Amino acid sequence: MENALSPLIDRFGRKIEYLRLSVTDRCDLRCSYCLPKSFKGYQEPKDWLTFDEIERVIGLFARLGTSRVRLTGGEPLLRRNLPALAARLSVLPGITDLSLSTNGTQLPKHAQALRAAGVRRLNISLDTLSRECMTQITGRDSLDDVMAGLAAAQEAGFSPIKLNMVVMPAVNAGEVEAMTEFCIERGFILRLIETMPVGATGLAAGYAPLGPIVDDLRARFNLIPEIKQLGGGPARYWRTADGRGQIGVITPISQHFCATCNRVRLSVDGTLYLCLGQEEKVELRPLLRGGASDDELIAALRGAIELKPERHEFREAPTKIVRFMSQTGG
């Protein structure tokens, strides 16, 4: 790649290849593990990074070896003209994978444009197939909206589509088998995720270790370990013997993956978070708006990566992180 620089490698030898980019902290749902129903502490739009500023930062990350970018939020599709931003990022030299995480409600309006803009993979949140449970988790009966979003994504040509299910005790843990059957029948990849104590909402959601749940699924669906890597994230995958179904498991608590963490998060206001479960961060917006040169920004990024901690402390200090997931970027 032209103008490529030596890659970002932290103190523990981990190469930073993956950036999760939050484009808004707004959301049209209020998932119980993410955002309080009464939350009002949103960033002012004047403090959001502009598309020009985002493109500049992502371009520098790409020169430093980061090749994968995921658009997140909040709900990223609430950011006006998001497909236009995606089109700009997807053609940056060095960016080989542009993906998006969404709750699915806005996909009927945007799926075709996202596909045309160069977004190649979608992760869609679906924690339940029950209307009652959906209302309990998201604050309203959004099931039809999400299902319409899934249909729009398939019609636009996204394949495979991953469905993210955050498993919570006494809420939806008893629905995992039904969700597995739903995904196998429709060709979706199911990803089961342990709740994380990020903010009071994440802490209150409770924790269901996925090990016993996966053991049950392996017996019920005759699952075998998936050999090939699916995406650039931390999930471990199993598949059905006939290859029709695939299930990923993300276990940040019971079996953390910090030793191979290759990602950082950039929030909508330009704060670079080095770990979801720690407080280390660097503010990039003052540099961007203060006239910093590319060399100065690159030096700031290298300095930031030096701050990346070895691991989170979700078990040892579950009340440590007070910011909500939507403020960091999911």
**Residue range 237-257, pLDDT digits in tens:** 999 999 999 999 998 777 777
211 is written with which tokens? 């090990």
Confidence of residue 154 (pLDDT cuts 50, 70, 90): very high
Rounded to the nearest 10°, the torsion over CA 101, 56, 274, 66 is 70
Asked which of 33-42, 113-122, 160-169, 274-283 is least confident by mean pLDDT, the reply is 33-42
Nearest to 123 by CA among 156, 152, 88, 158: 158
pLDDT score at 234:
82
Edge to edge, the sheet with strand 68-72 lists 223-225, 236-240, 246-250, 189-194, 162-167, 121-125, 97-102, 68-72, 18-22, 263-266, 271-273, 281-283
Asked if 135 contacts 29 with a C-beta cutoff of 8 angstroms, the reply is: no
pLDDT-derived band of residue 278, with 50, 70 and 90 as boundaries?
confident
Mean pLDDT of the region 300-313: 91
Sequence-distant (≥ 6) Cβ neighbours of residue 49 within 8 angstroms: 57, 266, 268, 269, 270, 284, 285, 288
Averaged pLDDT, 2-17 = 92
Q: Which residue bears the tokens 């959301």? A: 27
Written as one string, the DSSP assignment of 57-83 is: HHHHHHHTT--EEEEESS-GGGSTTHH
Domains of the chain: 18-328 (3.20.20.70)
Q: Calculate what percentage of the chain has a pLDDT beyond 70.
A: 90
pLDDT at 284 over 90: yes
Q: Tell how strand 97-102 and strand 121-125 pair up.
A: parallel
Residue 178 pLDDT more than 90? Answer: yes
Averaged pLDDT, 147-152 = 98
pLDDT at 270: 98
Q: Which of 108-112, 172-176, 241-245 has the lowest mean pLDDT?
A: 241-245
Instruction: Please state, in angstroms and rounded to a whole number, the distance separating the CA atoms of residues 244 and 248.
Output: 14
CA dist 44 to 25, 28, 93, 326, Å?
10, 17, 31, 14
Tens of pLDDT, residues 252-273: 777 777 888 999 999 999 999 9
CA dist 165 and 168 (Å) reads 9
Q: From the CB of residue 127, how many other CB atoms can be counted at a distance below 10 Å? A: 26
Integer Cα distance of 302 and 223 in angstroms? 42
